[in-house]
Structure formats: C-alpha cells, structure tokens
Amino acid sequence: MTKLFIAGGSTYFRLPDGVVTANMVETQRKIYNGSFEFTPDQKNSFDPLDIEGLVAFFREYVRNDKIKELKNSFAVPDLSNGDTDLFFKALAYQFESFVKSPGQEAEGIVAMQYQHLVDHGDEPSETPIRTKYLSDSVMVSPNQVQRHQVSCHDKNVIHEWIIQNRGNRDWKGRRLFFKNHAEVKPRAVSNYVDIPDTPAGQYIKITTSIDARRHEGTTVCHWVMLDDQGEECFPDSKMFDFTLIAAFIYEPRKTEDLA
C-alpha cells in the first residue's frame, strides 16, 4: 500500500531508504483490509495523480499468472495480444476515479475505460458517468453490437443489451427509455423496455425491435435507464445508445413478379 501511494504520486506515506518494515505499515494494512477508510487528506495527497506511475506499479507487482483472473473480475475480455498495459491503465483510471470521489465508493469504470483505450488509445474519453445513487454502477458488455447496418426496408431490427449490475444496489422496477424517439424517424416496438429485478453483480439480457423504414443515413437511438420513479439512474450517459446506418438498397423485381 505504501508503494502504491508513492507510485501514484502521493507523499502521504514515506519509505525511508526504500525499505518497508512491519511497524511502519499498521495504517496501510488497515486501509488495505477495509478497517480504515481513505481520509480526505490521503486522497488530496495525490496532486496530481501519476497514472503512468500506477501502470508501472501494476506491471511490477501483478503476477502474470493472475492477470487473466483479474481481468475476469472486472468483466474485461482477455485479448492476449499485448493489451496488458491498457488494462493496467484502466485500473489506474479507476483508482483516480476513487481518489476524486467524495466518499468511499466510485463508479466502476474499468471495463469502459479499457474498451476506450483499445478502440481509441489515449484520446480523451467521455466524462466519468454520473449516478443518481452513489452505490449504483452499471456495465454494458463491450462486445455488444452498437452499430447496425440496415436497409430502408428493414422493419424488424433487433438490438440486444447485455448489462451487468456492477453496484451494491439491487435493481427493482427499472426500465430503459428511448429518450429521443420523438426526434428521430426509426420507431421502436415500445419506447420502454422493462428491466427484470436484478441483484447486485448479476447480468441481464434485454432486447428491442426497431422499424428502420422511411429514412436513410445515420441515426443515434438514445436510450437511458430509469428508476421506479421515472428518473434517470445515470444522467448524461450514452452507454445504452446504438446507431442505425440505413441505406436505400435497390432490389429489382423478378420477371415472374411482373407477370
């Protein structure tokens, strides 16, 4: 824990001569096992937080034979193609999110940040997702299809969400809402999709059907999660969005159809 603090740029804990002894780490040990909370002074000591320093720390101290297991615990796919440093960077951003949070919890962003790093490198990602409930967190499967190539004749485009309740709050009475349905031409079979009651940690799979007729071009279908009071659980989030790319496809009629 001492070395983690130092790697992240904090000067809160000292490491005389580079040596850690048992009588130096009582506080650190209690932080590690959860009996002590991170104090505001400890969080403020990461100013600025050293992301690359944390990546180097994880690279040194996370055993190679534990990386796949650690990825699985965060629902991160094991691509096995030299992506380990991207995963470590996602862990560092998660720690940064915790340091910046006002309490002892933070939005689970490892899978989201990892996928962003895989897709876009170090380009800035969207602002960390806000939550209505501090103990709430969600992950939409990074393997989910988010762009559908369709024709202007398709009236039954199926979109599937694979969602995990990543927080400590059970979901009850929630649903997804097609928020921009009045502004776009595609029509859903329903503007609401019920979410089954979902305990913390569980995955769910839900679908909707979209009528993509009567338009061409690219359309973003913006969906949000509502609680049982009809309020957005993750304000400003775009994680439930998907895109329809519709083109007119000329299909010549067969000779027999003209008879």
Q: Taking the domain 139-247, which CATH number applies?
A: 2.60.40.10
Region for 234 from its dihedrals, namely left if φ exceeds 0, alpha if ψ lies in -120 to 50, beta otherwise: beta
What pLDDT does 236 receive? 79
pLDDT at 20: 52
One DSSP character per residue, the chain reads: -HHHHHHTT--SS--GGG---GGG-HHHHHHHHTSSPPPHHHHHT-SS--HHHHHHHHHHHS-GGGHHHHHHHTT-----SS-HHHHHHHHHHHHHHHHHSSSS-----HHHHHHHHHHHTTSPPPPPPP-SSTT--EEE-TTS--EEEEETT---EEEEEEEEE-SSS-B-S-EEEETTTTTSS-EES-SEEEPPPB-TT-EEEEEEEEE-TT--EEEEE-EEEE-TTS-BSSTT--TT-EEEEEE----PPPHHHH-
Residue 125 has a pLDDT of 45
Domain boundaries, the chain: 2-128, 139-247
In this prediction, residue 126 carries a pLDDT of 46
Q: How far apart are CA 242 and CA 192, in angstroms?
A: 15
What tens-digit pLDDT sequence spans the chain (259 residues)? 888 888 988 888 877 665 554 455 777 888 777 778 888 888 888 878 898 999 999 999 999 889 888 988 888 877 655 688 889 998 998 888 888 777 777 767 788 778 777 766 665 444 457 788 877 888 887 656 788 888 777 888 999 998 988 888 899 999 999 999 999 999 999 999 999 999 888 888 999 999 988 777 888 999 999 999 999 999 878 889 998 888 765 555 555 544 5
Predicted local confidence at residue 189, as pLDDT: 95
pTM of the model: 0.52
Q: How far apart are CA 138 and CA 143, in angstroms?
A: 15
pLDDT the model gives residue 197: 95
Measured from the Cβ of residue 222, the count of other Cβ atoms closer than 10 Å reads 17
CA 28 to CA 6: how far, in whole Å? Answer: 12
pLDDT tens sequence across 209-259: 999 887 778 889 999 999 999 999 998 788 899 988 887 655 555 555 445
What's the CA angle centered on 142, arms 76 and 193, to 5 degrees?
Answer: 130
